[in-house]
Structure 1
């Protein structure tokens, strides 16, 4: 009788373990589901973007995040919602865009995706949604062609079309140099006057923003332009500024592109060039008083020197293209993208350093050659803040923004959105989990011990 009880005890242990193991296996094959019920997104420009999410799960939801991509930037930024863990969750998140670090220019295409995790470890990732982050002070119309989109409002439709045609013509002109990059999406927001444009600019000092008439801004990594349609040089601004985006895309790497190359290519591409630059250059040639162009990494500080700098940059780039051909310039941009230093990229492309090339250009102009000397100090550009202002002409105050983010996202067919509220739903697919092999092994081991004990007693 005693042996019978012992055997029965072993059998009960074995059955219990096997039952527990089978339950673990069933739970693994049927994980707790998460349902993404709906969401809302509200544009609260210029402060930011409001996200609201509702989700349910058979176990408590422990994490909800949103990943957002700005324009052409390929790397998204995550932010987590703040909420109490529960099976039914309504969570909110406000994404601020009103600081220098978080600023998003109006007209930028935004892509975003939600991720939800519960305490069982199940995950749900939503589809990727899109909307356009507009300046909600106005109702925007749009025109689209060849990947370029121009947003405008009010009685400037004709000017908006002219801007689009100018951008397309500039892209065609520069295709031999930039290649496939000319087809990358660019978004343009057109403001009608400086008062309108102030709210759309980055959060600079209000005093600076009101004293300067900003003709246009290029946000290189995002792929967005802001253009003032009331300016006299608005088409030249559009042509010049969009080229900065193309330069960035074709040279993005670890090497910082010097201003003389950036501005030289932008003005070379400009189909409505400024005569102020040419006049400043002609005067400097007559006086044999050129700036040491290739010694600058940034730009000179005074308006007069800046005009001359732009004129010299355009002339120098034109000389390189005419003397060595378009292919060499294209090779230089490719070399910059893959090189560790600018000097090595120039040397590898042209077989000469930048000073030798500058002196070839100076010689063609009939001015004195530049001679490097330790006793000659190169003017140091003013430190550039996150937003560096420059002018196509001293009156226009055109500026260019260079960000540190990477890029590459397509702009979708635009929709006329000021405040966008949309909903969507999706369900989880069960995750495949492994059975609890450890408990199965333990049960089997106990059963073997039982059999061995029985055999021993027999």
Structure 2
């Protein structure tokens, strides 16, 4: 065989080898993954993850959402990696003010794992309702409202829960159109308690002095879509009052708007089917003596107990005036204006052509009370009402980031062992990547060197 034949044979072989070359690259995989969650009520929640990954891990983040908000929280977690095996955990202290989670809150969470090779893996979402695991919880649901309760005497509590659920739903269906809420099916959760000593452990942490003086009948957590309710003679009224706080927040709440307590509490009492005698009596007595509060100057309720009773009664009356005398449509437009980001006074000026003091004076003329003077000095007493949000997701911004929730991700139960696939973008990059292993590079260089040497030898001849 002459050199020409050898040369062209090697060249042809090299061409075939290159065109059919498919480099073997070790694929990075996350396998044998297990996630779990342990609720130690009311102390903390333990999040855990473990699995195998044939790449060095740079960071593991827990990404979760509490309640019915649209924001997620990113929380870095501690992890250990031994060769391909890894495990991580996070303790979320629910007995602290800024990490408190009200019972009944839905929780969704997943993990994001980043490697030193710049690859990212995301687990599937786990979903649960935060409740004390030491209790046996039952639930009843009608339309958008779910009520959780602990059965004590056969079906006694269940029957009571059904009655309260029906009353609450009537409030939602009555108030939602007034507030301009079109999505009446947005979820709401209520947790019913029969024992105040147990309910007090479920509330957000507060000082011992507050605990001794206050008995909370109901507590609304608008950002979570949750109401904690103590069963009693006035439970229907309390449930309606607290549910309205959540609806008001959804209808008028905005990052740029502060909903004053006189408006918030006034609406909640307006929606209350069981009117408080003490509120009405206090209002009538102070109207007779012309000692009503300058109600629209209060961004939060007054501190004295006797003033608080008057505050609630008076707030209901001025809101009732705005709705029934100035018009329901106008009131709905006013709430929508606040939702758009307008300040209280700007929204009032736009819809009514009056500021808050002028609105109050018009109402005072209607009831025969003396007028108040407009002043730039706002009265802002310390709030003692249970409607104050003790914890929201916004308070986590100092040590967490907000992210958009993934749009396509399936639910799995905790403790399920699943293979977790790499992000689509990463998979595409790997599929289209071009690279050679060390052994294949050497082989190609040998062939190329042989072809060059044969070509030079042929030219010498």
| TM-score between the two structures when normalised by the length of structure 2 | 0.80
Q: Which residue of 2 aligns with 1:241?
A: 242
Give 1:250 shift.
0.9
Q: Which runs of 5+ in 2 are unaligned?
A: 1-6, 395-401, 406-412, 436-440
Alignment match of 1:423 (pick from 416, 434, 442): 416
Q: Which residue of 2 aligns with 1:228?
A: 230
What SS is found at the alignment partner of 2:393?
Answer: coil
CA offset digits 1:5-36 (Å, max 9, x no partner): xxx9xx9xxx9xx99xx78x764xx6412225
CA offset digits 1:303-330 (Å, max 9, x no partner): 1111111111111111111122211111
CA offset digits 1:371-423 (Å, max 9, x no partner): 2257xx664412x4xxxx42xxxxxxx554264437999xxxxxxxxxx9532
Whether the aligned pair in 1 keeps the contact of 2:30 and 2:419 (CA below 8 Å) is no
Q: 1:183 to 1:130 in 2, by over 3 A?
A: same
What SS is found at the alignment partner of 1:59?
Answer: coil
What SS is found at the alignment partner of 1:83?
Answer: strand
Alignment pair present for 1:153 and 2:141:
no
Q: Which residue of 1 aligns with 2:339?
A: 337
Q: Which residue of 2 aligns with 1:102?
A: 99
Q: Which residue of 2 aligns with 1:250?
A: 251
Whether the aligned pair in 2 keeps the contact of 1:214 and 1:399 (CA below 8 Å) is no
Q: 1:182 to 1:274 in 2, by over 3 A?
A: farther
Distance 2:171 2:261 in 1: 20
Give 1:242 shift.
0.6
Q: 1:293 to 1:349 in 2, by over 3 A?
A: same
Q: Which residue of 1 aligns with 2:132?
A: 135
Q: Which residue of 2 aligns with 1:432?
A: 428
Distance 1:175 1:101 in 2: 30
Give 1:191 shift.
1.1
Whether the aligned pair in 1 keeps the contact of 2:126 and 2:414 (CA below 8 Å) is no
After TM superposition, list the pairs within 5 Å mapping 1:184-203 onto structure 2: 184-203=186-205
Alignment pair present for 1:171 and 2:152:
no
Whether the aligned pair in 2 keeps the contact of 1:181 and 1:249 (CA below 8 Å) is no
Give 1:366 shift.
1.0
Alignment pair present for 1:50 and 2:50:
no
Alignment length (residue pairs): 408
Distance 2:135 2:283 in 1: 42
Give 1:80 shift.
2.2
What SS is found at the alignment partner of 1:198?
Answer: helix
Q: Which residue of 1 aligns with 2:62?
A: 66
Distance 1:367 1:312 in 2: 12
Distance 1:82 1:193 in 2: 38
Whether the aligned pair in 1 keeps the contact of 2:97 and 2:390 (CA below 8 Å) is no
Distance 2:209 2:298 in 1: 29
Whether the aligned pair in 2 keeps the contact of 1:181 and 1:250 (CA below 8 Å) is no
Q: Which residue of 2 aligns with 1:381?
A: 381
Give 1:92 shift.
2.2
Q: Which residue of 2 aligns with 1:89?
A: 86
Q: Which residue of 1 aligns with 2:278?
A: 276
Tell me how large the CA RMSD over aligned residues is: 3.3
Q: 1:61 to 1:405 in 2, by over 3 A?
A: closer
What SS is found at the alignment partner of 1:43?
Answer: strand
Alignment pair present for 1:41 and 2:29:
no
Give 1:130 shift.
0.6
What SS is found at the alignment partner of 1:401?
Answer: coil
Q: Which residue of 2 aligns with 1:401?
A: 389
Give 1:150 shift.
0.6
Q: Which runs of 5+ in 1 are unaligned?
A: 1-7, 391-397, 410-419
Give 1:294 shift.
1.0
Distance 1:380 1:118 in 2: 51
Q: Which residue of 1 aligns with 2:408?
A: none
Q: 1:323 to 1:424 in 2, by over 3 A?
A: farther
Whether the aligned pair in 1 keeps the contact of 2:69 and 2:224 (CA below 8 Å) is yes
CA offset digits 1:191-212 (Å, max 9, x no partner): 1121111211111124432442
Q: 1:425 to 1:320 in 2, by over 3 A?
A: same
After TM superposition, list the pairs within 5 Å mapping 1:259-270 onto structure 2: 259-270=261-272
| TM-score between the two structures when normalised by the length of structure 1 | 0.80
Distance 1:109 1:380 in 2: 34
What SS is found at the alignment partner of 2:325?
Answer: helix
Q: Which residue of 2 aligns with 1:119?
A: 116
Give 1:154 shift.
2.6
CA offset digits 1:215-235 (Å, max 9, x no partner): 111011111111111x33221
Distance 1:379 1:256 in 2: 15
